Amino acid sequence: MSDVGSIGALTPAARHRVVAGTFAEEVAAVTDWEAESPVQGWTARDVVGHLVEWFPGFLAAGGVDLAPGPSVGDDPVRAWHVQTAGVQELLDGPDAGATFRHPMAGEHRLADAVDRFYTADVFMHTWDLAAAGGRVAHLDPAYATQLLDGMRGIEDLLRSSGQYGPAVPVDPDADPVTRLMGFIGRDPSVAADATHG
């Protein structure tokens, strides 16, 4: 697992490169795509499928097209790599600073929209994919703290969206990644079980 260091101060393009690369390491490590993940009702394949399936539609709603890859059902590894390359091309390209208007998410620079709505999601789901394989994702604690601080301010909105389950209580002295996972409804003991499995 890569030591990603502190990624909170990176540009959106650089942060995506690190976060998507760490997720890709977990994708490459999967030995059972039907293994249960910490997300209720999802397998390891479904974790990848979620990211590959929702984000192109999000971009398309704002007039940005992302070239499709193979289906996650057929080839989850290739599907992930194709999507990552396409997103990175957007972030590195001349339109990254263009205005992106989404009917639900509002108006943002394209790079900021990718960063806020997608890269953060990839970061959190890296934990899920690792846990599905009995591994522990080594995620940047400073970035986890940054995400958690931002999400706490809109907790009621997040819970009402149905995208996050009830928070799982964690030790107040728990590390930032554990606290973030508990906040978004994951049971951090899953990771603890992985370290002893």
Domain ranges of the chain: 12-196
**Is-above-0.75 flag for pTM?**
yes
Q: Which residue numbers in the chain have pLDDT < 50?
A: 1-4, 192, 194-197
What's the confidence (pLDDT) of residue 191? Answer: 59
pLDDT of 154? 72
Residue 161, pLDDT score: 63
Residue 188 pLDDT: 82
Angle in degrees, CA 110, 108, 150, rounded to 5: 110
Q: What is the CATH number of domain 12-196?
A: 1.20.120
